[in-house]
Amino acid sequence: MAATTQARAPKGGHKHQIVRAYLSDLIANELTIGDAVPSERVLTEKFGVSRMTVRQALDALVADGVLQREQGRGTFVAPRHTDFEMRLTTFGEEARRLGMAPSTQVLDSDTLAAGRVVAEALGIAPEDRVHYVERLRFADGTPMAVERAWVPASLAPDLLDDGVPDSLYGALRERGHSPTWGEDTIMAAEASAAEQDVLAMTNVRAVLRAHRKTYSEDGACMYSQMCYRGDRYSVVVPLREARPTIVPRPAPADPAPHDPETT
């Protein structure tokens, strides 16, 4: 009968860190996305530690987004997060920069009245017409985000005449309204049932929502709402050293005129 071999933590090391390091190495070199990791019982026997110690190691990897638990099934290697840098580019441009193949499915498009929320974002009247486009964005064939965008019809009356253009930014540039800067508001949220379905999110509901106002030299040219999968996205925000800002201030009051005859 073969003896059972147990892995032991090096002297002075925390046992849960050893279990975590073992799992990290296993994930990096042997497992792939969706593969199950060894069960708590197997890890307990292998390392000669308590189940609480094993659970601590697993919890840390779940918190880091490396593993994900599925109720009643076990713990599996999680999909890798995609670090999208927040800058004024299209989804396709950013995906290609990361070496991924982007693709798009148009879910809806129309020309309609802006309504209050969109009108406020674009600085137009609620009754003004806008082009509306809703698209499902893919990277390497995986659904990653739902995008809803509104463009003032006055800037591009023919925008949807031949269907939805591949790039809304590109279409605006062709019409003399090149996007030059924008503002993003990013928040954590839960996906709606419809978003969860279209994004193929079976075990999680966490998403990142980004509301963007895009401007050309003439003013607001597009308002968009992105819903990113929380299990596939990380947001990278570059930070730079603050530069001194020159703020004008009122000049000191001129002294009262001096009258030599009064002295």
Per residue in 67-107, pLDDT (tens digit) is 888 877 889 887 766 555 555 567 777 778 778 888 999 99
Contact 234, 84 (CB under 8 A): yes
Residue spans of the domains in the chain: they are: 15-77, 82-236
pLDDT of residue 35: 87
Across 131-160, average pLDDT:
95
How would DSSP label each residue in the chain?
A: -PPPP---PPTTS-HHHHHHHHHHHHHHHT--TTPBPPPHHHHHHHHT--HHHHHHHHHHHHHTTSEEEETTTEEEEPPPPEEEE-SS--HHHHHHHTT--EEEEEEEEEEEE-HHHHHHHHTS-TTSEEEEEEEEEEETTEEEEEEEEEEETTT-TTTTBTB--S-HHHHHHHTT----EEEEEEEEEE--HHHHHHTT-SS--EEEEEEEEEEETTEEEEEEEEEEETTTEEEE----PPPP-----PPPPPPPPP-GGG-
Angle, vertex CA 244, rays to CA 238 and CA 246, nearest 5: 130
| 175-220 per-position pLDDT tens digit | 999 999 998 888 999 999 999 999 998 877 899 999 999 999 989 9
CATH number for the 15-77 domain, one of 1.10.10.2520, 1.10.10.10, 3.30.420.40, 3.40.225.10?
Answer: 1.10.10.10
Q: How far is the C-alpha of 44 from the C-alpha of 56, rounded, in Å?
A: 12
Cα-based distances in Å from 249 to 207, 246, 252, 261: 44, 9, 9, 35
pLDDT of residue 92: 75
Across 123-143, average pLDDT:
95
Kindly state which CATH superfamily the domain 82-236 is placed in: Chorismate lyase-like (3.40.1410.10)
- Give the pLDDT band of residue 246 (cuts 50, 70, 90): low
- Give the pLDDT band of residue 3 (cuts 50, 70, 90): very low
- Give the pLDDT band of residue 5 (cuts 50, 70, 90): very low
Percent of the chain exceeding pLDDT 90 equals 47
HSE-up of 199 (CA within 13 Å, CB side)? 28
pLDDT of residue 216: 93
pLDDT of residue 12: 46
- Give the pLDDT band of residue 241 (cuts 50, 70, 90): low
Across 231-244, average pLDDT:
68
Q: What is the pTM of this model?
A: 0.62
